[in-house]
Amino acid sequence: MPWFKGWSVERKEGKAEGKCLIEALDAILPPTRPTDKALRLPLQDVYKIGGIGTVPVGRVETGVLKPGMVVTFAPAGLTTEV
């Protein structure tokens, strides 16, 4: 399949070439996050799942989140174990 190796097009302005989708996705570098700072995890949503409990969903902005850690959610002051 020729499209799998990328694409190219010639126009008046010149020739343009591109990668296939998988190569383009693999070329994206993940952002660096400061892991030496305090944990900041803005919550996006909270789900209540029967048999599991309350599951907060968000993205770690700074710091590190590991199983077994005790965290406190602000401003409510709720403390729980991950």
Please write the tens of the pLDDT for every residue from 49-66: 999 998 989 999 999 999
Does the structure show a pLDDT above 90 at 7?
no
Q: What domains are there in the chain, each with its CATH number?
A: 1-30 (no CATH), 43-81 (2.40.30.10)
Q: Binning pLDDT at 50, 70 and 90, where does residue 4 land?
A: low
Work out the number of other CB atoms within 10 angstroms of the CB of residue 58: 13
Looking at every residue in the chain, the average pLDDT score rounds to 88
Q: Are 79 and 71 in contact (CB under 8 A)?
A: yes
Nearest to 81 by CA among 53, 62, 40: 53
- The whole-number average pLDDT for the span 7-35 is 88
pTM of the model: 0.55
